[in-house]
Amino acid sequence: MATAGKVIKCKAAVAWEAGKPLSIEEVEVAPPQAMEVRVKILFTSLCHTDVYFWEAKTPVFPRIFGHEAGGIIESVGEGVTDVAPGDHVLPVFTGECKECAHCRSAESNMCDLLRINTDRGVMIGDGKSRFSINGKPIYHFVGTSTFSEYTVMHVGCVAKINPEAPLDKVCVLSCGISTGLGASINVAKPPKGSTVAIFGLGAVGLAAAEGARIAGASRIIGVDLNPSRFEEARKFGCTEFLNPKDHKKPVQEVLAEMTNGGVDRSVECTGNINAMIQAFECVHDGWGVAVLVGVPHKDAEFKTHPMNFLNERTLKGTFFGNFKPRTDLPNVVELYMKKELEVEKFITHSVPFTEINKAFDLMAKGEGIRCIIRMEN
């Protein structure tokens, strides 16, 4: 392309300070260096992780947030052979170098080189940012920074996908939806006809319910403190609902009574330590499997009686649903293309890039599931 090897000037939503509205600025985006790619972002969406770190959970400012997106490769740096200009890709906040012990393992997706690092605001190759305004660096976020019309990423953080897949739909598969989906399909692995409890019915929890539906679970019990979420959750396969505030007994006891001893599988998607304990203790002895997805407070402690393990309950954790980004995400997109995975129902709002702060307002109000941000009006 004519822009290859040149600095590109484009619009980006810059966070200058924690918790302050993003500002649409003209930024300069440097060409990709060795093992890097520059991507034209066409659609991005807002994930709670962006909001979490925007709300002063990071000391790195000014910064360009964003990590759920879809785009097209504009140019590639030295050594890049897996993708080429024109390829359609999904950026991913955690990468796959394909060379480290984790990437070579069939059991792990936690790449040594490209694992998520929320504190790093620069490229790993040379320790510099590819964004600037009047010579001043603007920092990256989790190696993606998709709230920009163009962004630079390590090649290991982009998954090449079917060019026929609509980017305004499949862009939501690059983070939360795949995390919940994979937690059910790849980790919990509910047998057909089984009973599954989903703790937390936000975007990730709904995706976990969708995964349980796809796997063939016959009962999917949604557990949430907000009953307004229940009707929406029916669209994702939930058959029953439980509000802990409606019961005097611990939730795990209520679920055991509902299911003749406990659910076959549970997936916890809140990050609340009590919900994590409940999710583990509610599974049936002998075969029950609980999967933890939510990220707890750094000082949280998980406490349960050892007999819960000795009675053959299994506790697992997962990161990005155990999907290897470059290897597995193209297959997740194909599930959508074959109409086996419904993505549209996760998308509840859409705004132009110039109104990106509306997406933050919607999330703050708890409205909708995912808001698509259109980079081009």
Q: Which residues are catalytic?
A: 47-49, 67-68, 97, 100, 103, 111, 115, 175, 370
What gap in Å lies between CA 352 and CA 269, rounded to an integer? 29
**CB contact at 8 A, 62 and 15:** yes
What gap in Å lies between CA 49 and CA 69, rounded to an integer? 14
What gap in Å lies between CA 333 and CA 178, rounded to an integer? 10
DSSP letter, residue 5: T
Q: Which is it for strands 8-14 and 88-91: parallel, antiparallel or unpaired?
A: unpaired
Q: Which residues pair with 268 in a beta bridge?
A: 199, 292
For Cα atoms 2, 122, 65, give the angle at the middle one, nearest 5 degrees. 80
186 φ, ψ (degrees, to nearest 5): -90, -30
What distances in angstroms separate CA 373 from CA 73, 259, 350, one per listed residue? Answer: 19, 42, 6
371, exposed or middle or buried, with CB in 10 Å at 0-12, 13-18, 19+? Answer: buried
365, exposed or middle or buried, with CB in 10 Å at 0-12, 13-18, 19+? Answer: exposed
